[in-house]
Structure formats: structure tokens, C-alpha cells
Chain A
Amino acid sequence: MLEIICCFKWVVDEAYLKPDSVGKIDLEMAEYKISNYDRNAIEEAVRLKEQYGGNVTAITVAAPDATKGIKNALSRGPDKAYFINGEGFDHLEPAQYAIILEEVIAKEIPYDLIICGEGSSDLYAQQVGPRLAERLGIPFIGSVQKVQIENKQITVERKTDEGVEVLTAPLPVLIAVVPDINIPRVPGVRDTLAASKKPVIEIAAGDLGKDYAPCLLQEELKVSTMERKCTYFGSEQEDIKAFVEALRKTGLLDGR
């Protein structure tokens, strides 16, 4: 029997980000979704539960209107959810998320394994996982692409630039998973309807030990634009010379 916690973030769905004619992005109309890799985290938690038995608790720190996100997460298989919410909680710093998660988890949720996505779809800071593990005083393993559990011991495959690393650690442990670990299931009708009936434990900002406010204030969001220059060259010898000359003028060939 495993007690598994999976953490997820409710983020703006980038498919809905449409710049206006001056390149400004209006988040008012945007839809939200569960951050991509966090879907893998939830899926892995549910698969491990199906394999070894136990309970899966989903947890998020979000703005109060993220109730849809809770149902969305629960439709993917967790047994219950913790919804820690407050104004501005969608724009906190990774360090603040880690502090809040630690406060709630340490106080009231039993765990053998905590699973996070490697990074969030919006900021991709990759910090909440390791910071949370550090605060809880448990081992952290990132870039995990395969998990096995035996005798309260976890064995993972870690994807690195050099190759695959195999590590073991005693439970409890916190892992951050990469998308190679699984293909998240698409919730069916029954799972979707069941989501509304699962327990949700709501913790409001006022119930936390201290106040949290976003440190960074986003003034404006604009799309990045790329200046393109388009010049056509032929394939004769003098055209090639002209091409090299044109490249030289851009300064791109300097220092070579």
C-alpha cells in the first residue's frame, strides 16, 4: 500500500494565447489546463496505485477560481484532492509554492512518494520539486522516466544528457518526471462524472501560517517577434560571392 501525492499546476493553455494586432496577449479569454508534465505526474501516481495498491492525493496551489482544475485532475484517477487557494496564488514564486506545499503536506497528508512534473508549462523553473523535497528532508530525484518500487525502496531511471542513470532510494522520496515516463490516459465519461463525487479538501489563504503575495508583478505580456530579412541569390559563382559578401555585412561571419 502506497500513499502517493501528485502535485499539479493549473496554467494558461498556450493554445489559447492569441496576440492582438499590436502583439499584446490578453489572458482574460484564455482557457486553463493542467500543466503538461504534471499530467504525466498524475498518470504515474495512478499507475503505481493500480500496480501496488494505495491512495493517490492530488494537490495544487492556485487561484480560487481554479475549481475546474481540481475536477480535471480528479477525472484522471486520484482519490482525493487538496485545493490550496488564494488571490494571486496563480503567480507565486516557486519558492513560495514549495513553502505552502510543505506546510500542508507535513501537517496533514501521509506520503511514501511525492511526484511532480519536471517543470511547469508556463515558467519551467524546475524548482518546486527539489525545494519541496529539501524542506521535507527527503531525497529528490529529477528527470525520471521509469519507476519501480520494491520493499519500500524505489528504483528509477533518470534521463540525462550522457545517457540513462539508474538510482535507488529508500521511501519516502520525491521524484520529478519527464514526459517519456508514460502517455497519460484520456479520462472517459465515467471518470469525468466520478470526479465531482470525490473529496476535495479546501484550504484558504487565511488558513495558512502566513501571508503570501506574488513577488513579481506582470505589467504586460507581448509576443516575441523575429525580424526577418529576405534576399534572393542565384547559384552562379558571382552569386555565391555576393551571398558571402552579404553575410559578411551582417557581421555574422566575424571572429571565424
Chain B
Amino acid sequence: MDFKLTEEQELIRANMREFAQTYVDPIAAEIDENSRFPAEVIKKLGEGGWMGMPFSPEYGGQGVDYVTYAIAVEELSRSCAATGFTMSVHTGLACNPIALFGNEEQKKKYLTPLAKGEHLGAFALTEPGAGTDVGGATSTAVLDGDEYVLNGVKTFTSNGPVADTYVTFAWTNPEDKRKGMSCFIVPKGTPGLSVGDHFMKMGIRASQTSEIIFKDCRIPKENLVGKPGDGLKIAMSCLDHGRIGIAAQAVGIAQAALDEALAYSKQRIQFGKPISRNQAIQWMLADMQTDITAGRFMYYYAAYLKDQGLPFSKEASMAKLFCSEMCFKHASKAVQIFGGYGYCKGQKVERLLRDAKITEIYEGTSEAQRMTIAGSLLR
């Protein structure tokens, strides 16, 4: 049993910290305010090899383990949750379906530019009537000669307006609710694919989110990922991977909340002394540090299991559930410590609280995680 990171993992953390301080901290408030996609930073992340960390170097990746990758997501999210999420959703949800279930051709053609960071990926699963209930989807894919014809509407597609490659899901056999859905790769610019307006969100505002509409969108049948009917399996597996990324993102946000709260509580003088001398504040700080440490080890563990080739679905759910809920709780405590100043624009904690909320919702709500965890207990 060893709780120590390797020197390489610590160096990845330090170098990502340096990246975030150099390129992300200076613009984080501005891209939040303007809901602007930081294309220049994403390009730099790609050049540095950060956009395809866990994938084989054969396909443009860096071949690092999932623990190391998740550490980088945490450290980037500590500076900007939206940028951290863009990296996480690209890697965990857009690249993984191709890396884990795609064939050689698909890996060469689509995964390689994605993992190199030359292309950005999006994962279009959610539909207006199908959130947690993935089976409620209505999109269809009908084989017509050598092509599948896609029809349907996807919503809340992260990276939607800025992606080069979409991984999406549609019924090839709507009768079979368990094995009737299939997974497809749709490149940007395919006729019949249109991208809706970017949603104005409460938090992670620099991440771009939109509807994706398929109207008689014809794609070659080679773009089917896995076999017909593998869709649900692929989506669930990739969401398990994605949850490790969200847990890491949540820990990054919580760490940023602690960084801010700690610094402010030592400089804010009330009743002639720094408020950090008050036990009420000290207890908040102590609880933050405790939950952050616990959450960090939970996502390390889920990632470790994945690296060992062991089942990690339940652990990824537990990590995502715990980290996202503690993240929101402590971002709120950080605002409390800042008082009125924390409620105003211009303070990082105000952004952190808005950013924190989404971690309890996307890639499986807290309620969905509890369903998964309870299901595995009661099976």
C-alpha cells in the first residue's frame, strides 16, 4: 500500500500548475464574464500534449496512466473550471469512445488529431427528453446503402459550437431498448449536421454548450463505432471514465476555494484581529481541507482501479458524487468567509460557487450516482 505519487506525477502536477498560472489565471475572469471560448489556451494545451494524455503515442497520445491525467485535470480546474472541463470532456467522453471501442482506421483518422489536440471533440448523447434516462432518446440512424442517415436533436452538448469531431448516439433498432442504440462519429461540416446557439450558463461559462441537430445527416457506415447495438455500452463505459475527470475537476475547484479562503481569512481584520483567529472560520477551513483530501484520494483510487484494469464504475460514481457535493458546499463556505465581497463580481470565489454547481449535475447527477451506487450494493 502506497499513498505517494511518483516523482513523475508530482512533476506533471507542478508543470500543469505552471501552465495554468502562465496562460489561464490571467484570462480566467474575462472568459467567464464574456462566456468566451479560450481557443488560444486550448491550442497551447494541445501543443503541450495535455489533450490526449491517456492515449497511446501510436495515436497521438502520451501514454500516461489515468491517475496522472486526472491530476492534470484537477490542477487546470484549480485555475479555471471551464478550461479544465473542456480538457476533461474532450479526453474522457469524445476521445475515449474511439480509443476504447473504435477500430484501427477510426483511431488513425479521428483519434490521432484529437489526441494531438489539433481537433476538439464533443460527446452528443443528451436529448431534450433524455437526460439521466438515456433510453428516452429519439434520435435514429437508418442504414441506407453504404451510409447511415441520422435524424434527431441533441442538447447540452459540451464543446458543441467549437468541436471538429462529434461522437453521437442514435437508435439503429428502436424496438430493442437494451441493444438498439449505436455510436457514431460525425465530423464537423457533414451536410445535415447543424450546431445551435451557445447556451448562456450560470457557471463554467467559458465552456461552449449547444444543441446539435441532425437532419438527414448522412455519414459513411465506417463511422459506426463498435458493432450496431453497442451504443449504450459505449456511452456508459465512457461516462464512467468521464466521472473520474469530473471528480478531479471538482477537487480542483474546491482547492481553489480553500486557497482563496485561507489567504483572505488571514488578511481580513475584524474586531482587531484576522478572522482566521476565530474558531468559526478555522472549522470551515479544517472541513474544507479534510474533504478535499478525502475527495482527492477517492478519485485517485477510481483512476488507480482503471489503470489496473479492474472494475471502477462504482468507485468513479462515488468519487464523482462525493467530490462534486463537497465542492459545492465548500465553494459556498468560501463565499461565506469573504462575506459581502465574495458575493460580488471580481472575486474568484463568486465564480467558483457558480462553477461548482454544474459538477453535481453533468455526467450523471448526484441522484443518478446514488442510483448506480445503491444498485451495485443491492444487486
Q: A237 CA to B268 CA in the complex, in Å?
A: 35
B11 touches A189 (CB 8 A): no
B11 touches A195 (CB 8 A): yes
List the B side residues contacting A189 at CB < 8 Å: 12, 48-50, 53, 62, 64, 72
Q: Is A160 an interface residue (CB 8 A)?
A: no
Q: Is B270 an interface residue (CB 8 A)?
A: no
Stretch at the interface among B14-22, B186-194, B233-241: B14-22
From residue A112, how far is it (CB to closest CB) to chain B in Å? 29
Q: A21 CA to B275 CA in the complex, in Å?
A: 12
Partner of B11, one of A18, A21, A75, A190: A75
By DSSP majority rule, is chain A's interface helix, strand, loop, or mixed? Answer: helix
Q: Is B287 an interface residue (CB 8 A)?
A: no
List the B side residues contacting A191 at CB < 8 Å: 15
Known: A186-B22, A188-B49, A190-B49. A72 touches B14 (CB 8 A): yes
Q: A201 CA to B290 CA in the complex, in Å?
A: 40
From residue B276, how far is it (CB to closest CB) to chain A in Å? 8
| Chain B, 58-77, CB within 8 A of any chain A CB | 62-64, 72
A186 touches B48 (CB 8 A): yes
Q: Is B345 an interface residue (CB 8 A)?
A: no
Q: Is B30 an interface residue (CB 8 A)?
A: no
B62 touches A187 (CB 8 A): no
List the A side residues contacting B8 at CB < 8 Å: 71, 192-193, 195-196
List the A side residues contacting B72 at CB < 8 Å: 189
From residue A187, how far is it (CB to closest CB) to chain B in Å? 5
B7 touches A68 (CB 8 A): yes
Q: A188 CA to B11 CA in the complex, in Å?
A: 11
Q: A33 CA to B17 CA in the complex, in Å?
A: 12
| Chain A, 170-197, CB within 8 A of any chain B CB | 186-193, 195-196
List the B side residues contacting A193 at CB < 8 Å: 8, 62-64
Known: A21-B277, A67-B7. A186 touches B19 (CB 8 A): yes
Q: A59 CA to B7 CA in the complex, in Å?
A: 19
From residue A85, how far is it (CB to closest CB) to chain B in Å? 15
Q: Is B47 an interface residue (CB 8 A)?
A: yes
Q: A189 CA to B15 CA in the complex, in Å?
A: 8
Q: A151 CA to B10 CA in the complex, in Å?
A: 42
From residue B141, how far is it (CB to closest CB) to chain A in Å? 36
List the B side residues contacting A72 at CB < 8 Å: 11, 14-15
What residue of chain B has the Cβ atom nearest to residue A190's Cβ?
B49
List the A side residues contacting B7 at CB < 8 Å: 67-68, 71, 196
B277 touches A188 (CB 8 A): no
B62 touches A190 (CB 8 A): yes
What residue of chain A has the Cβ atom nearest to residue B49's Cβ?
A189
B50 touches A188 (CB 8 A): yes
From residue B74, how far is it (CB to closest CB) to chain A in Å? 15
List the A side residues contacting B50 at CB < 8 Å: 188-189
Q: A183 CA to B48 CA in the complex, in Å?
A: 16
A186 touches B11 (CB 8 A): no
Q: A75 CA to B15 CA in the complex, in Å?
A: 9
| Chain A, 183-226, CB within 8 A of any chain B CB | 186-193, 195-196
Partner of B15, one of A67, A192, A196: A192
From residue A37, how far is it (CB to closest CB) to chain B in Å? 15
From residue A32, how far is it (CB to closest CB) to chain B in Å? 10
A192 touches B12 (CB 8 A): yes
From residue A59, how far is it (CB to closest CB) to chain B in Å? 19
List the B side residues contacting A71 at CB < 8 Å: 7-8, 11
What residue of chain B has the Cβ atom nearest to residue A186's Cβ?
B19
From residue B38, how far is it (CB to closest CB) to chain A in Å? 15
Q: A72 CA to B8 CA in the complex, in Å?
A: 9
What residue of chain B has the Cβ atom nearest to residue A13's Cβ?
B14
From residue B90, how far is it (CB to closest CB) to chain A in Å? 14
Q: A171 CA to B63 CA in the complex, in Å?
A: 42
From residue B60, how far is it (CB to closest CB) to chain A in Å? 11
Q: A67 CA to B7 CA in the complex, in Å?
A: 8
List the A side residues contacting B266 at CB < 8 Å: 18
A188 touches B48 (CB 8 A): yes
From residue A118, how far is it (CB to closest CB) to chain B in Å? 20
Instruction: Identify 10 new A-B residue pairs, CB closer than 8 A, beyond the known A21-B277, A68-B7.
Output: A18-B266, A33-B14, A71-B8, A75-B11, A186-B19, A186-B23, A189-B62, A189-B64, A191-B15, A196-B7
The 3 closest A-B pairs by CB, nearest first: A188-B48, A189-B49, A189-B62
The contact sample of 7 A-B pairs, CB cut-off 8 A, is A72-B11, A186-B15, A186-B48, A187-B48, A189-B49, A189-B72, A193-B62
